[in-house]
Amino acid sequence: MTALPPLHGLRILDASRLLPGPAATRILADLGADVVRVDHPDVVRGDLTRMTPPFAVTTTEGAPVDDAQGFAFIALNHGKRSVAIDLREPAGVERFLGLASEADVVLESFRPGTLDRLGAGWDAIHAVNPATILCSITGYGQHGPSAAQAGHDIGYLARAGVLGHSGEPDRPPLPLGVQVADLAGGALPAVVGILAALRERDGAPGAPGSGLGQHVDVSMTDASRALFQLDGAAVMAGHEAARGAAPLGGAAIACYRTYACSDGHVTLGALEPKFWRAFCAGLGRDDLLAHPGASPASPEGREIESIFATRTRHEWAAFAAEHDCCLEAVLTPAEAFAAARAAAEQGAMPATLAVPTTDGGTIDAPAPGVRFSRSPLAEPAAAPRTGEHDALPSPWITATNPEALA
């Protein structure tokens, strides 16, 4: 018997846009879920990532504008299907609710109350199928004084305290290079919440399920604040969480920080004494053993900085291979993917997926970073054009609906 992906047969109707919602359904689709996107019929008013350069697929003269697809859109939406629905029209709401009645999960990212005003919110979905789960990803949650406020990743991190805890103490807060609130505060909590709601609905041996869906409310600000797993309780008890590189609220210290080397930067994470000992032994500097907590401004801190400056990243990587001390070179994204591809050839987890495109080519997209001992991941397929699957008897691709396998 051919093994199937873990979430094979799960149906998800995705009415979200941009990053948090599509990233959540990207994870679920990689695990085998059947995801149908709800796209606005006018591509210009639809998901901006579709038309965000650089483009993997470019349009030709006279072709529909949405024949073009950006790399970001393909990475987030490959293997999903698309129906074009205008939720401002009664016929669009009717079609949306018809698909919702067939779905296990509906995911949306409108401002709170938007779907309700359109007649397509939680009450309407629950009425057409009490077993359907609705997951809403918003900046500030469905309730409270800021629920209707607009925002983006950087603002959610600011409100959550994450941005104010980032960067060096004497410099402005430093936004990270990835969208932490959108992904760690939005997409991942949504996936966890959806899977938990499915488990509660469907039950388990010895724990009968309710058979009912529920509304999963994900606040990107609150979920980002919850990332303070090490510092949060101490902060609420009145302790200060100093900005800097060290965990547990400390400022940058010698054993846990970034260092400039001769051609870039490296990181050292030798928190445990055994790793600090290995680092000092590799340097032949037993005089530094007593100073893992040295500040950058201390004589010992400046001495260690001068040592790092004498070698390249490659030389420090070779040092780390010989001396197990939690030292890593700081890579660019391109370098990171190249290194991960090389590691995958030696048995490490795959770094990329070869994803077909609508023009007959392929691109490499990030792999999900998880694998199973028995179950495969979903086979990559092209990202959809807007409304590409409107003409099918049903857009669902699940095995229980073979007509949709065209």
**184, 303, 295, 308: which is closest to 246 by C-alpha?**
295
Separation of first and last alpha carbons in the chain: 23
Given 3-state DSSP classes, what are the helix, strand and coil percentages for the chain, each rounded to the nearest 5? 35, 15, 50
Q: Is residue 83 a contact partner of residue 395, using CB atoms and an 8 Å limit?
A: yes
The single residue of 182, 217, 222, 231 carrying the catalytic annotation is: 182
The single residue of 8, 152, 265, 323 carrying the catalytic annotation is: 152
Rounded CA-CA distance 323/252 in Å is: 22
Q: Quick check: is 152 catalytic?
A: yes
Using a 10 angstrom Cβ sphere, with 0-12 exposed, 13-18 middle and 19 or more buried, the burial of residue 63 is: exposed
Q: Which two tokens stand for residue 255?
A: 């054993």
DSSP H stretches of helix in 163-209: 180-182, 188-202
**259, 350, 346, 274: which is closest to 309 by C-alpha?**
259
Phi and psi torsions of 363, nearest 5°: -130, 160
Rounded CA-CA distance 248/230 in Å is: 6
Rounded CA-CA distance 383/347 in Å is: 28
Q: Quick check: is 182 catalytic?
A: yes
Please report where in the chains the tokens 């040092």 appear, as a residue. 319
Rounded CA-CA distance 49/17 in Å is: 8
Residues catalogued as catalytic: 152, 182
